[in-house]
Amino acid sequence: MDLGDWGGYTLGMKTAVSLPDDVFTSADKLAKRLKISRSQLYGRALGEYVARHAPDSVTEALDRVCAELEGREEKEFAAAASRRILEQTEW
C-alpha cells in the first residue's frame, strides 16, 4: 500500500492505540520534522513493519536478489579467462 499521497486520517480506518509516552513524543517530533501528520507517520511506519514481516514479501525480495546475481560469477570468470588468453596471444 503506497501511503505517499495519503491526505490524512479520513482515508482509512480510524482507530485508537496506546503508546508509551517516550514513543509518542519521539513520533510527534519526527512527524513535525517530516512535515506530515502523526496519522501519516503511524500509517507509514505500520505499513513498513507489516511489509517487512510478510513471509511472501521476504521470499519475493530474496528471489529478486538471486535473479540479479544469477550467472554473475560465471560471466566474471569467463571475462577474466578471455582477458588472460588475449593478453598472452601475440598479435
Inter-residue long-range contacts of 29-35, CB under 8 Å, 24+ positions, other chains counted: none
Q: Is 9 inside a domain boundary?
A: no
Residue type, 66: C
**E strand segments, 1-91:** none
Q: How many domains does the chain have?
A: 1
Q: Is 12 inside a domain boundary?
A: no
Q: What are phi and psi of 20, to 5 degrees?
A: -60, 150
How much is the pLDDT for 2?
Answer: 53
- Cβ distance 42 to 27 under 8 Å? yes
Q: What is the pLDDT of residues 50-74, one digit of tens each?
A: 887 777 777 888 888 878 777 666 6
3-state secondary structure at position 3: coil
pTM of the model: 0.51
Q: Is 76 inside a domain boundary?
A: yes
Domain span including residue 41:
20-88
Location of C-alpha cell 512527524 = 31
